[in-house]
Structure 1
């Protein structure tokens, strides 16, 4: 496995989205402002309407990095299937998962590249934005990924963010980042990075997890069971999570119980995952896939 820090290989950023084009706009703005430009964006769309498609087509035409849009029909919350479609279309050996309401800071990809290590998954964290700040950011298309220290200190003082230290501090790849054993806390696929080969080996996300909850923990459990180590990306890879109302969580307990059982059994492979026939990439793509070359390729 090549050292991505030394080779500067392409990274694939897989962004999940569903019917929130204003938030996706801010996320893409943050992606396009990255200091590390050797990446592509794959937008994994869980059934959004035409407004999202039109936004992506419009933005991608002038994007400085390649943008791909993969879409699946809206049949309820199916994040696992959507992410698998994104993985199937990604070209990078290293994958970063980002949600369409989590705005990356300008060094987000550079920091993930610096933390990458063989057979290791990196679980990042997030700064939660309040409803008032989120509304203002969306209405004014604020470049929140590059605002000043004083701005964030004011937002913390008024309760519009839940923490400020990660926005002011960058810690190197210290030994304390290593997570020993399986720890549930901090697993969020709104900010997670792993090697494609490690994800392929466990058959990707398990698409039998439907409804909100714990398909991300299931992925990390199965990576853990297969011998993949884990690092914590605190004070390095934080994203700015825009406020939103909670999804329905009627399947959360059931999904959590499945993950706990898999940890105990040592399960590694998804029941229905990345290696299903529908994820096979053919030379001629389906009508629900939009490839937009970057300006660098034109």
Structure 2
């Protein structure tokens, strides 16, 4: 079951490079990479053109002009051009462990979505990750991270929980089984059913709102928090405003109260019922 991995990014080529090294090291290569680019400058495209030469899987770069925070729109456009049976959404600051794609494929069910988590790194550790550390998986070793100053706490279980212990933790963890933009997957047909992501939203729960609409159609999440591991690299969020958050909060509230199943302004702008893709005139699509 081929997967389309949709990686959202905006002007973070150094972090994106580390993320792609993680995908190049996967032990399951039955997937494609789609870079959902919300208006980055030319440096991101140049990086992708260079890295595509050594990629073991196809890479697609879908770009829209920079017109503020429009993550939902670029993810919808990525879903529209995706060629996989499943979509997996993540971010350009989340480095996957070698078994990441394999875990999502193993737990996949046509009537459920998968809800994964992340292990957050500080700024110094994020900067220190290089290609060797990612490819040989030392970056995912709790002992290696501890030697470099990572505090010990229960979150480290995500790095050390091996089967069947990870499955047990997935079952008993009280964390809600939400759609998490850094680590979640479902059949592409389910995303189409709910009209993709809600483009009336900006920062603040846009991923969870998508999952709520899936739930209103009877599609709920399975927890793989301790099985599918990504390292979340440090970054700021200077683009977030109180107005953005309040607007998104109002949309989420309306989705719950009205039990909405489909986004009013979503995927069907870019993907017609017959499967034809219709991007905006200034959008760019490059299959690398």
Taking structure 1 as the reference length, what is the TM-score of the superposition?
0.84
- 1:226 paired with 2:195, answer no
Which residue of structure 1 lines up, in the alignment, with residue 101 of structure 2? Answer: 109
Match runs of 1:212-291 below 5 Å? 212-247=203-238, 248-250=240-242, 251-277=244-270, 280-281=276-277, 288-291=284-287
Instruction: Check whether the contact 2:36–2:61 (CA below 8 A) recurs between aligned residues.
Output: yes
Structure 1: gaps (5+ residues): 1-8, 293-298
> Paired residue for 1:169, among 157, 161, 169?
161
Q: Per-residue deviation at 1:141?
A: 4.4
What CA deviation, in whole Å up to 9, does each residue of 1:70-93 have, x standing for no partner? 000111111100101111111011
Which residue of structure 2 lines up, in the alignment, with residue 296 of structure 1? Answer: none
What CA deviation, in whole Å up to 9, does each residue of 1:13-44 have, x standing for no partner? 11111000000001100001000111110111
Secondary structure at 1:13 match in 2: strand
Secondary structure at 1:103 match in 2: strand
Q: Per-residue deviation at 1:151?
A: 0.3
Q: Per-residue deviation at 1:66?
A: 0.5
> Paired residue for 1:24, among 6, 12, 16?
16
In structure 2, C-alpha distance between the alignment counterparts of 1:278 and 1:48, rounded to whole Å:
23
Q: Per-residue deviation at 1:61?
A: 2.1
In structure 2, C-alpha distance between the alignment counterparts of 1:39 and 1:166, rounded to whole Å:
24
The alignment of Structure 1 onto Structure 2 pairs a total of residues equal to: 276
Which residue of structure 2 lines up, in the alignment, with residue 10 of structure 1? Answer: 2
Q: Per-residue deviation at 1:258?
A: 2.2
Instruction: Check whether the contact 1:94–1:196 (CA below 8 A) recurs between aligned residues.
Output: yes
In structure 2, C-alpha distance between the alignment counterparts of 1:176 and 1:118, rounded to whole Å:
23
Match runs of 1:1-298 below 5 Å? 9-137=1-129, 140-141=130-131, 143-144=133-134, 146-147=137-138, 148-155=141-148, 157-159=149-151, 163-172=155-164, 174=167, 177=170, 187-210=179-202, 212-247=203-238, 248-250=240-242, 251-277=244-270, 280-281=276-277, 288-292=284-288
Instruction: Check whether the contact 2:178–2:221 (CA below 8 A) recurs between aligned residues.
Output: no
In structure 1, C-alpha distance between the alignment counterparts of 2:115 and 2:67, rounded to whole Å:
28
In structure 2, C-alpha distance between the alignment counterparts of 1:230 and 1:74, rounded to whole Å:
33
In structure 1, C-alpha distance between the alignment counterparts of 2:218 and 2:84, rounded to whole Å:
22
Secondary structure at 2:262 match in 1: coil
Structure 2: gaps (5+ residues): none
Secondary structure at 1:163 match in 2: helix
Q: Per-residue deviation at 1:176?
A: 7.3
What CA deviation, in whole Å up to 9, does each residue of 1:88-145 have, x standing for no partner? 11101111111000000000000111111121111110000001111222xx445336
The alignment yields a C-alpha RMSD, in angstroms, of: 2.6
In structure 1, C-alpha distance between the alignment counterparts of 2:60 and 2:96, rounded to whole Å:
18
In structure 1, C-alpha distance between the alignment counterparts of 2:119 and 2:85, rounded to whole Å:
28
